[in-house]
Structure 1
Amino acid sequence: MRLPSPKIEDQEFEKFVTPEPPTQPAPPTPAWQRIDERPLVQKVKIVEAACDAGIAALRDIMQIMAQHVDSDAAVKFELSSLKKVMEQKKEHPIYIGFLGASGDGKSSKRPGAG
């Protein structure tokens, strides 16, 4: 018959261990994770910049994977999946408009409008 495990109270240990300080400072929190504290225009710019950075990183990954596509069928499959994702990406549309009531001449402010 097996003896029961000793109780925690019977074992000697330090109840509270002081954690060691980190060896390196924590990296800064990315701007897109602090987006709630920003005005709307900055939110849009932050999200667009994060999207552009993500697409650039994905292109870099795809270039590296393309070098190994013949060595592993899984790489070929993943690369084709990433290409499909890249085909679905959208550009950031920019809309410019004028506010004003009817008859304020908004359309005459367009370049080329007569």
Structure 2
Amino acid sequence: MNSTSADFQNLYQALSHSAARSPDALALAFEDRRYLYRDFHLRVQRAMAQLDRGWSLRKGDRILLAWGNHPAFCEVLFAALGLGIEVVPFSTKLKQAESEALGRPYPLPRLSCSMRPYRTG
């Protein structure tokens, strides 16, 4: 029987299935780097361990991801979803005032991840 998207509760489960079924298939390409499902799944599992044990994030917590187009964004996104952590993707191109206005209606995230330093003032 073939698995369909209905068989998975989240994207992490779909990734795990693909890694088990086709470990040597291409999962992600970025610039000159290529990630096979086996390797990408391992990177996601490491990110899960960091979110869980390193930062004590739990199911139901919320994180803000402002990473842009980069494999690290994908790794943390899949890891967070696998742990039941809510992910708020955030554009790295927004100015500070726009970012603050968008964030007001939501409870503060437990963790904010960004590849560039956040500048205030």
So what's the TM-score if we normalise by structure 2? Answer: 0.25
Larger radius of gyration: 1
Instruction: Please state which structure has a larger fraction of its residues in helix.
Output: 1
Larger RCO, structure (CA 8 Å, separation 6 or more): 2
Instruction: Please state which structure has a larger fraction of its residues in strand.
Output: 2
